[in-house]
Every structure is written in structure tokens, then in C-alpha cells.
Amino acid sequence: MVVGTMAYDAISTPFGKVDKILGGAATYIGLSASRFNLNCGIVSVVGEDFENQHLNLLKNHGIDISGVEIVSGGATFFWSGKYHNDMNTRTTLDTQLNVLENFKPKIPQHFKSPDFVMLGNLSPNVQLQALEQLNSKPKLTILDTMNFWMDHFRSGLDQVIEKVDVISINDEEARQLTGEYSLVRAAAQIHKMGPEYVVIKKGEHGAFLFHNHEIFCAPALPLDEVIDPTGAGDSFAGGFIGYLTQTGDISFNNMKLALIYGSAMASFTVEKFGTENMLNYSPNMMADRLKAFKELTTFEIEIE
């Protein structure tokens, strides 16, 4: 089960501009996770303007959208941003919460005992309300969040953090959350707040997975060209939880592989605008990326 936003995005990067394309955390997470062998359902909200073709796109990927509320007379969440030349920094030009403003997640009866739950980046209150409706504790709950909630909704956020098994945030957010500059120390602090596993995303520099004293590092695949970084973190999260759900194995060793699958998914997404490249996904493309990760990181060293 994925709880998260569905949106229309307007994006400008040094490579081009799009006015109104399908976006939102739940969209990217769902499209990414649905490439694995699993049953995926989204809990979200859209406005009356949300196009049928986009609902159908999700359905055609096997995603259950019975948890997507359509607010009549409402408008879908809209985000507009501009990426700078280095593609690592972006400016938000416009945020129109619209139907998201009063969103109360309603979890369909048949979603209420999910094995794996992904809380995409949105208000900690919504994330809490979603967890409260579950009939049983999931095998694994993963939380994605961002600096905005740390700045303005810290106590609610702390409550969510306490309830999840895995948190996925970027390096700056990990530092902000803990006041620790060292990511090793930041992860140790976050462990104490609740999550047994801490994923720290570093964009083009890859991602770390921390679990007590174990650390794993997945580089990002070096790409010829990054066209649009939007959705990279969500595609990563979708690949991460998708692989864990398919295998049903939440050991640290298997989470390492999930990190690689997530990174592969993110590397697809950023090569075209929006969700475009995710729709080109094929198992062969995945196999090629996994081989590239293997070549990128494998070395044989004799330790005396």
C-alpha cells in the first residue's frame, strides 16, 4: 500500500520545459513498485480535473486505485519547479495544494492489512491517519519525508518516525533532523527515534543504508545525461519497497539489493521528463542496469 500525493507538475530544466504532466510521490512510487511481482494499491486524492487517461495509466500497470478519492469540484495538487544548471538544486515556483489541503486518507477495507506500507512524502498528520486505519501491523513500513515537515510539523513527524521501520530521507534532511553533520552519527540518532533501518539518499552520489553498525553504500549510476530529476527519490523508494515486497525478505542483506533496485529505477526516471521513461521500462533494461551496478562496484581485494 502506497499513501502519497498525486499531482500535476510544471517543470523547467536546462533541457526543456513541460507545463502540466502527471506527477506526485504516489504516482512515481506506484509506477516503480508495480514493475515487481506484487499487488499494489494507492491511497491518495485528486481533483475533478484529473484525467481519465492518467487513472487508466495506473490501472494498466496493475495498480489498485480504489483508494484514490476524486473530489468533485476540486483541483488536483499542482507543483511547479525549476532546476538550475547543476541539476542538484531546484527552486519551487508554485505550490497549489488544492484538494490536498483537506485530505483525509480513507483506506479501502481490502487494503487494511497490508504487508508492506510506503508512506510517501506528505503531511505527517495524513501519514498518521493512514497508519491508524490499519487492522494489523505491517511487516514493514517505510517513511519518506522532507525538510518542510521538519520545519513546521516536527512533533507530528516525530510521531510517525517512531512508528516506522525504515526512513528514507536525503543527506541534508538527515542532518537537519538530528543536528549531526556526520551521516554515521545522524543515522545513529535516527535509530534511537524509532526506525531500525535508515536510508540516506544523496542524489547523484548514491544512497546509504544504515542498520545498527552495518552500512551499505549504493552509488548512483553515472549517466550520460540527467534530463529531469523530478521523481527520482520516489522511483527509488518504489523500487526499494517493490523488491522487498516481491521477495518478502526484510533482512539487511536483501535490503542491500533493494537499494540497488531502487537506484536502478531512479536512474531510469531521470533520463526523461516526468514519468515518461518509467513507461519504457523493460526487464532487459533492468538487467542491464544491474550489470552496470555490479561492474561499477566490484573489486577483488586480498586482505592480510
Site residues (CB under 8 A) for a second copy? 85-87, 181-185, 202, 205-206, 208, 214-217, 219, 222-226, 253, 256-257, 260, 283, 287, 290-291, 293-297, 299-301, 303-304
Instruction: Work out how close the CB of 129 gets to a second copy at its nearest, in angstroms, rounded to a whole number.
Output: 35
User: H helices of 133-251, where?
Assistant: 147-152, 154-163, 171-178, 183-193, 232-247
- In degrees and rounded to multiples of 5, residue 179 shows phi and psi of 75, 10
The Cα 190–Cα 218 span in angstroms is: 20
Q: How far apart are CA 257 and CA 263, in angstroms?
A: 10
State the minimum distance, in angstroms, from the CB of residue 53 to a second copy. Answer: 32
Q: Specify the residue, 196 or 204, whose C-beta has the smaller distance to a second copy.
A: 204
The values of phi and psi at residue 110, to 5°, are -80, 0
69 versus 171: smaller Cβ distance to a second copy: 171
Alpha-carbon gap, residue 116 to 242, rounded angstroms:
9
The span from the CA of 68 to the CA of 49, in Å, is: 14
- Region for residue 98 given its phi and psi (left: phi exceeds 0; alpha: psi -120 to 50; beta: otherwise): left
DSSP tag of 110: G
Min. distance of Cβ 214 from a second copy in angstroms? 7
Q: How far is the CB of 110 from a second copy (least distance, A)?
A: 31
Burial of 7 per CB tally in 10 Å (0-12, 13-18, 19+): buried
Q: Given the complex with a second copy, which of 148 and 252 has the nearer CB atom?
A: 252
Q: Closest separation between CB of residue 200 and a second copy, Å?
A: 9
CB of 269 to a second copy, least distance (A): 16
H-state helical runs in the chain: 25-33, 52-60, 124-132, 147-152, 154-163, 171-178, 183-193, 232-247, 252-269, 283-297
CB of 137 to a second copy, least distance (A): 28
Q: What are phi and psi for residue 190, nearest 5 degrees?
A: -65, -40
Distance CA 204, CA 223 (A): 9
Q: Between 64 and 228, name the residue whose CB sits nearer to a second copy.
A: 228
C-beta closer to a second copy: residue 79 or 210: 210
Measured from the Cβ of residue 162, the count of other Cβ atoms closer than 10 Å reads: 10
In angstroms, give the least distance from the CB of 74 to a second copy.
Answer: 40
Relative to beta strand 78-83, strand 90-96 is: antiparallel
Nearer to a second copy, 73 or 283 (CB): 283
Closer CB to a second copy, 106 or 191, in the complex = 191
Nearer to a second copy, 59 or 205 (CB): 205
